[in-house]
Amino acid sequence: MNLPMNPPATPRSTSVGSSATFNTVKTFTLLAGLGGFFVLIGSLLGGPTGLVIGLLLGLGLVGMSYWNSDRLAVRAARAREVQPGELDWLHDDLRAIAARAGMATPPRLFISPDQQPNAFATGRNEANSVVCVTDGLLRILDRNEVRGVVAHEVGHITNRDILIGSIAAAVATGISAIANMAMFAGLFGGSRNDGPNPAVVLLLALVAPIAASVMQMALSRSREYEADRVGAELLGDPRPLANALVKLDATSRRVPMDVDPAHATAYIVNPLTGRKSDRAAQFANLFQTHPPIEDRIARLLGTQAIASA
């Protein structure tokens, strides 16, 4: 069954619109917080020199990771481009969803040999975008569920999440670099009467990278919620994506994936998922790159319930 090009529009309630607005505000608040934290740490730990070095490092990393995001991610996933005549049904569905999202050119389609069911989107803009699915995903999901995953990834592209994620990662890396330089200077650089307290320098150098990572992960979770919402709207039905998330979460816990943690945030479900105790779950969620699957599904199905009321 082909994906209909013009499904009935799903009415958007005030609650759903408010949720989308809140996620957008939260995203830019977290980005601003990361940037402000970067300036604070640079000035406290490294002074003007440390701030300039960290700023240049962050800008350089942002440019490199953003411009090369498609090549870096595809290479890391060992993925290849799906050729014409191969997986035509998936090409058709991706084109239809991209057109519904208002994209002039559909993303290029790649497939990774990984057996863990997963997917990601990347690319510096819509014209250079990529959607990549794994062999494992195509094995366990039916066509309608694959559509849900593809719609989620298209949502990431239209939301410019690759740019946002690149900026956040580069800022967090810059903070860590400044902290490491400050720690080295505090341990081996001697003491100066006019300089900051060495104990404060060491404490901030230890805390800063952790705090930056927590903020970066909170930003990543916020963007996953928003991509879920957009994906459900593109299909006009949240159930395909919700059903896919259930299967992806359950299987990813049993099938490992050899992936660099730096790329984990790009995937639709955390490829490094592990079991954790209930007692530690709330604390551990601070360090998760993805929201709990139960919360994502509840939001998706809650959107459906509101829309049909």
Q: Give catalytic residue positions.
A: 153
Q: What share of the chain is helix, strand, coil (3-state, %, to 5)?
A: 70, 5, 25
Q: Are 154 and 101 in contact (CB under 8 A)?
A: yes
C-alpha span between 108 and 122 (Å, rounded): 10
Token pair of 145, please?
């569920």
Q: How many helices (H) and strands (E) does the chain have?
A: 11, 4
Strands of 80-81's sheet in order across: 80-81, 108-112, 130-134, 119-122
Contacts of 10 (CB under 8 A, 6+ apart): 232, 233, 236, 237, 307
Q: Are 140 and 132 in contact (CB under 8 A)?
A: no
Q: Could you tell me which residues are beta bridge partners of residue 11?
A: none
